[in-house]
Structure 1
Amino acid sequence: MAEQAEKSGPVAAVVETFKTVFWALIIAGLFRTILFQPFWIPSGSMKDTLLIGDFLFVNKMAYGYSYASCPSLPFINIGADKFCGFAEDYDDRLFGSDPERGDIVVFRHPVTGQDFVKRLIGLPGDRIQMKDGLLYINDVAVVVENAEPFIETMEPQGPQGGIPSCINGAVGPGADCIKERQFETLPNGVRHSILNTGDRQQDDTQVFVVPQDEFFFMGDNRDNSTDSRFPQATGGVGFVERKDLIGRADRVIFSSAGRSMLYFWTWRSDRFLKALD
């Protein structure tokens, strides 16, 4: 009887709770490491495809696995290289496959190790150039179509409180902030929107020849994106190696326009489970 009481008493309850939590953490860790990685959108570089405050899961199975697939804990400054740095110099990917032009890809910055999300524009061997704000791939201009402007409220956005850029000048708080909007069609038929806020240095670039096993990325918010048009020596992204790819972003799971996801009145219900183009 005493043995039976011990098995069903408070000590047994604590042990069972501990085992449940332990296995839940193991399963969650495996889920995050092998299948999907959660990612919050912190900046406006991919507007209007991705908005500040969008929350998504990155499909880590899409391109196979490398050292960059290991989990990172940015809130305590622990990156994937801390867990799997021993494999950082290994160029092959386990179960690897190449991304396709137009994919929205999360990758590790080649220098800082920070996670970035951009659209894949250039494949190995491609010639990429911007001329007068128009994208050229292998010396051929992409097809663009004018669309309705993108309008947002001039106000601090997201936890960082960033202020959006507007083509209609320096507008006051609460006013409409306008960006020109177009649809761009890439050579493989991927059609997506891009934004413009005026003439910028990055609207005219040199010809970038993408090296083997590397990729060229750009943000959809073309005038407000630190991407492959900027060299790593100046704080840009430059070319990104295959081993630094983390996965593909396919769908927004949840979205909040406020400074915190707890501000339920700022939730964007129209973006829940929204598929990405």
Structure 2
Amino acid sequence: MNWDLATILVILTIVSGLLWVYDKMVFAPRRQRALERADLSIPSSEAERLEANYTPVIVDLGRSLFPVFFIVLLLRSFLVEPFRIPSGSMMPTLLIGDFILVNKFNYGIRLPALNTKVIDIGKPKRGDVVVFRYPEDPSIPFIKRVVGLPGDLVEYNNMRKILYINNEPITQTVNEQRYVGIGAGSDMTGREQRVEHLSDVVDHAILVHPERIRHLPVKKWVIPENEYFVLGDNRDNSKDSRFWGTVPEENLIGRAFFIWMNWDWANGGISWQRLGTYIN
């Protein structure tokens, strides 16, 4: 179990729920008896009235917050979860300061905090932008694009910046205009823009630095069962499966699908044109 926000939210929900139950069993009957005495005009002392209506602050707070914690837990665990993009590894698709929503339903229903799948609904598709727990430190959420599925043979040519799936090159279209970065991503200005035709239904933009040749050994990866090979769209500025390996299925959090806010101090605050954008 990771002591992340989900775990804390589960604990708060349980504690506030127990306080709500305790109030229902102990203090609510006292309040009801006080109301009945008042309706029957039965004399009672001031001390008796105060005692009948007394609820400890912690119990009152718990019963008030329990519905809030419970609803947030349900929404966050089974429907959508918000995240903020802290780096430029997914540029130009996602920019630093993007606030995104992640669909928690697509890849199955998991128990909060335990991350155990209880209902299998679907699997990631090639081209999905996914949020997952970083395999080397599951407390850290990462976001990348799925390019390799279980059973695939994946290769990345670092000289040509070309991806190969099952020995077939993934075609790319080069944009004649160089990328112009804004705000915190302005250091990416001048990168070459390409459109990668990853599948029949997914065409997405990537950034490459043709002059930057990382001295990576030529390597091919055979993707194991229930694992996925992921890359950042900013190919020469992404720590991804080329460096630390595949993502196990149990590390998946969900599919990123929507940008609801962008806040970048280096770009003057809110970037209004990014609000309400779907993620391709």
Q: CA deviation at 1:115?
A: 0.8
2:143 match? 117
The one-letter amino acid paired with 2:271 is R
Cα distance, 1:193–1:219 mapped onto 2, change above 3 Å: same
1:78 match? none
Structure with the higher fraction of residues in helix conformation:
2
State how far apart, in whole Å, the 2-side matches of 1:49 and 1:17 are. 43
Which of 128, 137, 140 is equivalent to 2:168?
Answer: 140
CA contact (8 A) 1:133 1:203 kept: no
Cα distance, 1:274–1:254 mapped onto 2, change above 3 Å: same
CA contact (8 A) 2:127 2:199 kept: no
Which has the bigger relative contact order, CA under 8 A and spacing at least 6? 1
1:223 match? 236
Q: CA deviation at 1:146?
A: 1.4
CA contact (8 A) 1:105 1:248 kept: yes
The one-letter amino acid paired with 2:208 is N
Superposition map of 1:244-263 within 5 A: 244-258=251-265
Q: Structure 2-normalised TM-score?
A: 0.72
Q: Are 1:182 and 2:190 counterparts?
A: no
Q: CA deviation at 1:53?
A: 0.7
Superposition map of 1:149-160 within 5 A: 149-153=178-182, 157=184
Q: CA deviation at 1:253?
A: 1.0
Larger deviation: 15-24 or 38-47?
15-24
Q: CA deviation at 1:204?
A: 6.9
SS in 2 for 1:183: strand
2:114 match? 84
Larger deviation: 141-150 or 16-25?
16-25
Q: CA deviation at 1:20?
A: 3.8
State how far apart, in whole Å, the 1-side matches of 2:134 and 2:151 are. 21
Cα distance, 1:186–1:41 mapped onto 2, change above 3 Å: same
Specify the structure having the higher radius of gyration (Cα): 2
CA contact (8 A) 2:263 2:270 kept: yes
Q: CA deviation at 1:22?
A: 2.3
CA contact (8 A) 2:181 2:187 kept: no
State how far apart, in whole Å, the 2-side matches of 1:138 and 1:180 are. 26
Cα distance, 1:11–1:57 mapped onto 2, change above 3 Å: farther
The one-letter amino acid paired with 1:258 is W
User: How well do the aligned residues superpose, as a CA RMSD in angstroms?
Assistant: 3.1
State how far apart, in whole Å, the 1-side matches of 2:206 and 2:218 are. 18
2:76 match? 32
SS in 2 for 1:181: strand
SS in 1 for 2:142: strand
Task: Say how many residue pairs are matched.
Answer: 230
2:279 match? 276
1:169 match? none
State how far apart, in whole Å, the 2-side matches of 1:11 and 1:205 are. 73
SS in 2 for 1:101: coil
Q: Structure 1-normalised TM-score?
A: 0.73
2:127 match? 102
Cα distance, 1:204–1:51 mapped onto 2, change above 3 Å: farther
List alignment gaps of at least 5 residues for structure 1. 71-82, 158-162, 167-176, 231-235
The one-letter amino acid paired with 2:254 is G
Counting aligned pairs with the same residue, the percent is 35
